Amino acid sequence: VAVHTAAATFTPSGRIADADASEHAHLVWRLIEEWRKRGVAVDFDGGTEDEVLQQPIAEVRAVETSSVDDEGRVRYTFKATGEFCSLHLLREEEAPRPELQAIDHRFRVGAPVLCIASESEAFGEMGTVEKSAGGSKAVEACFRLGRAREEQEALQSAIQQAVVRQHQTLRWWSLDELTREVSLNPHVVKQILGSLMARGGDNVREDIGMNLVCETWEDHVATPLCLPTYSARWKGTWMFSDLAVEALRDYASNFPGLFAALRDRRPRGRDLDLRLAFPDSPDADYAARRLVKYCTMCPFKQLRLANEDYMALAAPAITEVVRIVDEANAMFERQPLCMERIVGVGNLYLVGDRRSRVPPGLLSGSSARVGQRGLCVDPRGPVPCGVKGTVLGIYGSGEEQLLELLLDEETFGATDLNGRTPPMRGVQVSVESFMPHLPHATGREVDASIAAAAAAPVRNRAGRSETLARGRWANANGAAADGGQTFTSGSEANGRHAPAAGTPSLGPPPPQWGAKAFPPLPSRLVGASATRSEAAEGDVSADEEYWASRFAEFLRLGSPQRRSQGA
């Protein structure tokens, strides 16, 4: 770090600073005393005591750890604090170069390897080395054949259709629209959507807010935090999904006294007394503990907050993806076992080897998409290398971006992601350790597959064909523009109630949508809510379906007399 003498201090950058001779002599004397305590005698030939106290001192930082990087170079980590020693006792030493091991020593027979030959059906499968003698081009490994590319594309398309369906059915509300929808006081809604600190009879501080609107402060700068699939921030405006509306309604119906107490509350930095929420309860402390337990067990309390630049699926979409993946895996396991041998070190990734790496072109990078299939390739990650999964969420951006994966099977090291996935099937990994199953699919091709999935007909349980189109996936044949909706069923398209050519057919919207049209939905927000209600089993005639839909609309909107009275 520096060399200190009685007259000056020298640094490696060439800077020279003046020094105090008395302080330097005191430093040298202290070092000599420390050496003597350790049993080391320091003696300079022909030097007086004053000359000994003027010897140069070196300030160094000792090596804390050393490691070998992927290119075989030694990397050192130095201690944060410096140490002093005599310059005469230092000597320069070159770092030893690591010995390069031969191929047969690295790729030992039985070593686990990952197939990275993108043209092979064994791509992304784990295998073992069977032959290592004869050089790098003669290394041979055996793998079980995975799904064919057509099967991979079919599975990917089915997952993308589930993502698109949930994306189209989830509505986002502004704060004013949310307040009117739940028929609550705006002052109460603003308090309950954020962080609401309260104390019960035992004086324990609890947060009973929904935490849909949060901020973190750093250097007097506020960073908004959202609750994935419940809240989002788009162009400076807070938006809330149907899941937030349902959760708020359930909260208000279970604890109306709390919302009544918040109506007249003025925070002023003081915590809420939970006993005020139960004025008529014979045991207010017990009721307060029951409220805290309810709030703690709610799904919106178990999720982790995320930055506003996130994309994620909600629970209904995840349930559908789990079903699709499990059915595909069960079908694949029933297929006969086929093996393939891959030759060449360039087609293999040796798990845990510092010099072996996955080509950067095969990794997802910034092109990861929600619903994309792939596998983990980090040998030091939370789950073993080669575990397959589906992207459920993307959080952050750049090098710090994290992917939320639904694993194909239960794996040690995985969790349930706070209730978002089945047990031992959820994990968060960095974007640099995720390799897609379709390595040659670019971001535009993935978007094209999403568009194709959106325009593809979806068969419901009654056997009718439904075509959903909305936003950027709307087509030119009478599909709705941004903010519209299209629902075309077989009976309406062919019956007397079919619209004119080129006119979108608007069927009765589901109850959770309300009678309003969709607001513009950001394309980066991917969510889920309750899917469209499907018809019962069996054939339904056009007239029966028409009158059934009109009767459902009558029950939802009420009679004309009630509407005229403002009911």
Query: Given a cut of 80, is residue 65 above it in pLDDT?
Result: no
Confidence grade of residue 542 (pLDDT, cut at 50, 70, 90): low
Q: Quick check: helix, strand or coil at residue 137?
A: helix
Identify the band that residue 93 occupies on the pLDDT scale cut at 50, 70 and 90. low
User: What are the C-alpha distances in Å from 99 to residues 96, 350, 358?
Assistant: 9, 18, 23
Coil, strand or helix at 16:
strand
- 50 and 117 both lie in a single domain: no
What letter represents residue 17's amino acid? A
Residues 318 and 295 in one domain: no
Rg (the chain; Cα; Å):
33
Per the model's pLDDT, the better-predicted residue between 87 and 477 turns out to be: 87
pLDDT tens across 357-374, in order?
A: 888 888 877 778 999 999
Q: Any idea which residue has 């604890």 for tokens?
A: 255
Beta bridge partners of 18: 8
pLDDT at 256 over 80: yes
- Asked if residue 341 and residue 416 are part of one domain, the reply reads no
Same domain flag for 325 and 304 = no
* Amino acid 474: pLDDT: 30
Residue 273 φ then ψ, to 5°: -85, 115
pLDDT of residue 566: 43
Per residue in 266-312, pLDDT tens? 877 789 999 889 988 999 999 999 999 999 999 999 998 999 889 99
In a domain, 24, yes or no: yes
pLDDT for position 54: 83
Q: Are 426 and 414 in contact (CB under 8 A)?
A: yes
At residue 447 the predicted structure's pLDDT band, cuts being 50, 70 and 90, is low
Query: Domain for residue 74, yes or no?
Result: yes
In a domain, 300, yes or no: yes
Same domain, 437 and 330: yes
Bridge partners (DSSP) of residue 394 are 311, 403
Q: What is the pLDDT of residue 71?
A: 55
Percent of the chain with pLDDT over 70: 73
Sort 48 into a burial class: Cβ within 10 Å, 0-12 / 13-18 / 19+: exposed
| DSSP assignment of 217-283 | EETTEEEEEE-TTTEEEETTEEEEEHHHHHHHHHHHHH-HHHHHHHHT---TT--EEGGGG-TT-S-
- 305 and 319 part of one domain: no
Look at residue 527 and tell me if it is in a domain: no
Coil, strand or helix at 336: coil
Nearest one of 93, 90, 106 to 55, comparing CA atoms: 90
Q: What is the mean pLDDT of residues 449-465?
A: 44
Percent of the chain clearing pLDDT 90 (strictly above) = 39
Which is it for strands 272-273 and 197-199: parallel, antiparallel or unpaired? parallel
Query: Confidence band (pLDDT; 50, 70, 90) for 41?
Result: confident
pLDDT for residue 46: 61
Distance CA 384, CA 427 (A): 11
List C-alpha distances in Å: 554 to 183, 490, 499, 547, 563. 21, 23, 21, 10, 11
Q: Whole-angstrom Cα distance, residue 122 to residue 183?
A: 57
Same structural domain, 300 and 408 = no
Question: In this model, does residue 61 exceed pLDDT 90?
Answer: no
Q: Give the residue among 200, 182, 180, 192 at the shortest CA–CA distance from 265.
A: 192
**Is the pLDDT confidence value at 498 over 60?**
no
What residue type is assigned to position 136 of the chain? Answer: S
Tokens matching residue 513: 């949508």
Residue type at position 224 = P
pLDDT digits (tens, 9 = 90+) for 304-344: 899 988 999 999 999 999 999 999 999 999 989 899 999 99
For residue 136, is pLDDT > 90? no
Mean pLDDT value across residues 155-163: 93
Are 160 and 234 in contact by the 8 Å Cβ rule? The answer is no
Which stretch of DSSP H or E encloses residue 164?
A: helix 149-169
Starting at the earlier edge strand, list the strands of the sheet with 231-234.
172-174, 237-241, 231-234
Residues 6+ apart with CB under 8 A from 259: 184, 185, 188, 192, 252
Q: pLDDT digits over 427-438, tens only? A: 999 998 999 988
Q: What pLDDT, on the 0 to 100 scale, is given for residue 257?
A: 93
- What is the reported pLDDT for 166? 86
The pLDDT tens digits for 507-528 are 333 333 333 333 333 333 333 3
Say if residues 181 and 511 touch (Cβ distance below 8 Å): no
Per-residue pLDDT, 340 = 93
Whether 115 maps to a domain, the answer reads: yes
369 assigned to some structural domain: yes
pLDDT digits (tens, 9 = 90+) for 208-229: 999 999 988 887 788 899 999 9
d(CA 392, CA 374) in angstroms, rounded, equals 12
**Domain tally for the chain?**
4
Mean pLDDT highest for which of 56-65, 347-356, 405-414, 489-498? 405-414
The mean pLDDT value for 416-444 works out to: 84
Nearby residues of 217 by Cβ (< 8 Å), 6 or more positions away = 223
In the structure, what pLDDT confidence band is assigned to residue 96 with cuts at 50, 70 and 90? low
Tokens representing 304 are: 């982790």
Contact 141, 129 (CB under 8 A): yes
- Per-residue pLDDT for 561 more than 90? no
Q: How large is the average pLDDT for residues 223-252? A: 93
Among 330-344, 385-399, 545-559, whose mean pLDDT is lowest? 545-559
- 14/139 same-domain check: no
**CB within 8 Å of 394: residues ≥ 6 apart:** 310, 311, 312, 368, 369, 370, 401, 402, 403, 404
Residues 220 and 203: their CA atoms lie apart, in Å, by 31
pLDDT of residue 44: 67
Q: What is the dihedral of CA 367, 370, 372, 378, to 10 degrees?
A: 70
Determine which helix (DSSP H) or strand (DSSP E) holds 94, and give its type and residue range: none
Residue 179 has a pLDDT of 94
Q: Are residues 11 and 70 in the same domain?
A: yes
User: Which of 454, 473, 502 is where one domain is finished?
Assistant: 454
CATH of the domain at 341: 2.30.30.140
Let me know how long the chain is.
Answer: 567
Domain boundaries, position 415: 314-335+359-454
| Residue of 425, 392, 391, 390 whose CA lies nearest to 409 | 425
In a domain, 435, yes or no: yes
Do 184 and 122 reside in the same domain of the chain?
no
pLDDT given for residue 479 in this prediction: 34
**The domain spanning residue 386 has which CATH number?**
2.30.30.750
Domain membership of residue 553 (yes or no) is no
- Lowest mean pLDDT of 44-58, 162-176, 459-473, name the range: 459-473
Q: Verify that 290 and 398 share a domain, yes or no.
A: no
- The partner residues of 198 in beta bridges, in order of sequence, read 206, 272
Q: Is the pLDDT of residue 20 over 80?
A: yes
Same domain, 52 and 117: no
Mean pLDDT score of the chain:
77
Q: Report residue 116: phi and psi, to 5°.
A: -120, 20
Tell which wins on pLDDT, 529 or 208: 208
452 falls in which pLDDT band (50, 70, 90)?
low
What pLDDT shows up at residue 47? 64
d(CA 504, CA 512): 21
